[in-house]
Amino acid sequence: MAAAFVAGSAALATAAVSEQRRSAIVSAVERARGAIVNIHGEKTLPVDEQHQGPTEQIRRVNGMGTGVIIDERGYIVTNHHVVEGVPKINVTLADDTNCIARLVSFDVTTDLAVIKIDAGHDLPVIPVGTSSDLMLGETVIAVGNAYGYSHTVTRGIISALHRSVQVSELQGYDDLIQTDAAINPGNSGGPLLNVDGEMIGVNVAVRAGAQLIGFAIPVDKVMGIATDLLSTRRLKNTWHGVVAKPQSGRTGPGLLVAGIDESSPAATVGLRSGDVIKAVGKQPVARPLDFERALLERKVGEEVQLSVQRDDKPLTLNLVLGSAPERQKPADTAWDLVGLKLEPMPEREFNALGTRFHGGLAVTAVRPDSPAARQGIHRGDVLVGMHVWETVSLDNVGYVLSRPDFYQKLNPVKFYVVRGGETLHGHLLVARRRTD
């Protein structure tokens, strides 16, 4: 009897201690953990990266990193440098299931990428917070594949905001969150969480030689880039014509329609600026990324139901997706809007520049008194990026300058050029086209 009494008392004590031990940090990790994945793979690099040629020796490097699931179908956001040059991207889920991922879309300038796995079932999605209200000293949690130790959890505080960091000659970041939560190689692409278990940043870099100085890309920026990377128009040339932004207030969560493309499917169905989109089909939407996710695997001609609020009244509209119209030729657009005549560079010639970019466009002429001329762009420069996208082809430039939200969100548009081995940047202020 005595033994039974002791055992029972121990069980009660354990239960009481467990409640005390379940801190906010424990709950936060439990909430987010299922949506955090480990990424690993092998890439090959030249032994001497300055040496170019068919006889170059190569070395194999085992890479590792982290990612977060942003869509239950298996879309994952991570850092581009984690998956760059990896022919076989291996992903391990929180339950130790292994999958092979494919690269969907990426942007070198912001060092973000989206990959996709097919797990055969819906996956947990990371809870997303906001980086707009972060506080110095606020408790944060980093989770990642640190040195290959999967799902390593560290905690700290927000040490600073809006940091600009140059981690190498070829890679720099703007507007980062600084934290003293331990971030190590392998944490890249993993989440920085708040105590509610919401992602408020994506871990991206550490300061070499320093202790407890790590950096993360703010989640609001990550979500904006992910929206562009998963744009149905970018990936499938499927057109809806909605320019949206998050909104909150007395109408509750939803997407505020900030603009409508002329003659677009959205205009045809009667959607208006000022409307609030509450759901696409049965999927509620609170961010532009939710809207693009809801349309990701739909086809041109497919009808989708939009639940809309207009003047505090509910409304249902049936949007029929269209095919994006042909734009002005990219070369003409570049000359007309920014004053640049651009030509693609041969791969071998571009590689000789030794940059981290994947390609660029040679500037062969600059129109006097144009936005490009006023920013000091010269003939002979190489345009390698605009806003958050690389400019490997003329179509890339056309995509940026012809975006429906260009004047509302991107103008003046940031540009990157390579000149004499240096990467320079500035902002092009583009005047609206005359309509007469």
| Per-residue pLDDT tens over the stretch 18-65 | 677 889 999 999 999 999 999 998 865 544 444 333 333 444 556 789
Mean pLDDT computed over 194-201: 97
pTM for the model: 0.72
pLDDT band at 434; cut points 50, 70, 90: very low
Three-state secondary structure along 31-79? HHHCCEEEEEEEEEEECCCCCCCCCCCEEEEEEEEEEEEEECCCEEEEE
Is 81 considered catalytic here? yes
Q: Which of 107, 111, 275, 290 is catalytic?
A: 111
Return the DSSP state at 432: P
For 278, residues 6+ apart whose C-beta sits below 8 A from its C-beta are 253, 254, 284, 285, 307, 308, 309, 314
* Angle between the N-to-C axes of helices 330-337 and 394-401, in degrees from 0 to 180, rounded to the nearest 10: 60
Q: What is the pLDDT of residue 45?
A: 53
Tell me if residue 348 falls in helix, strand or coil.
helix
What counts of helices (H) and strands (E) characterise the chain?
11, 26
Mean pLDDT computed over 204-225: 86
Rounded to 5°, the CA angle 392-396-402 comes to: 160
Q: What is the pLDDT of residue 251?
A: 53
Q: Which of 105, 150, 159, 188 is catalytic?
A: 188
Q: What is the pLDDT of residue 49?
A: 43
Q: What is the pLDDT of residue 160?
A: 96
Q: What is the pLDDT of residue 10?
A: 45
Bridge-based pairing of strands 149-166 and 172-179 is antiparallel
Digit-coded pLDDT (tens) for 232-248 = 887 888 889 998 888 76
Tell me if residue 329 falls in helix, strand or coil.
coil
Q: What is the pLDDT of residue 402?
A: 82
pLDDT band at 143; cut points 50, 70, 90: very high
pLDDT band at 168; cut points 50, 70, 90: low
48 exposure class (CB count in 10 Å sphere: 0-12, 13-18, 19+): exposed
Give me the residue label for tokens 């209200």.
Answer: 133
Higher per-residue confidence, 349 vs 234: 349
For the chain, domains (ranges, CATH) are: 32-116 (2.40.10.10), 231-323 (2.30.42.10), 330-428 (2.30.42.10)
436 has a pLDDT exceeding 50 = no
Identity at 433, one-letter amino acid code: R
Average pLDDT in the chain: 86
Higher per-residue confidence, 106 vs 157: 157
Q: What is the pLDDT of residue 228?
A: 87
Most confident of 8-22, 47-61, 322-336, 415-429: 415-429
| Two tokens, residue 397 | 């430039």
Mean pLDDT computed over 313-324: 92
pLDDT band at 205; cut points 50, 70, 90: confident
Alpha-carbon Rg for the chain, nearest whole angstrom, is 24
Q: What is the pLDDT of residue 13?
A: 47
Rounded to 5°, the CA angle 25-26-27 comes to: 90
Distances (CA, A) of 42 to 62, 85, 171, 346: 5, 8, 21, 28
pLDDT band at 331; cut points 50, 70, 90: confident
Q: Which of 40, 71, 80, 81 is catalytic?
A: 81
Q: What is the pLDDT of residue 51?
A: 37
Is 111 considered catalytic here? yes
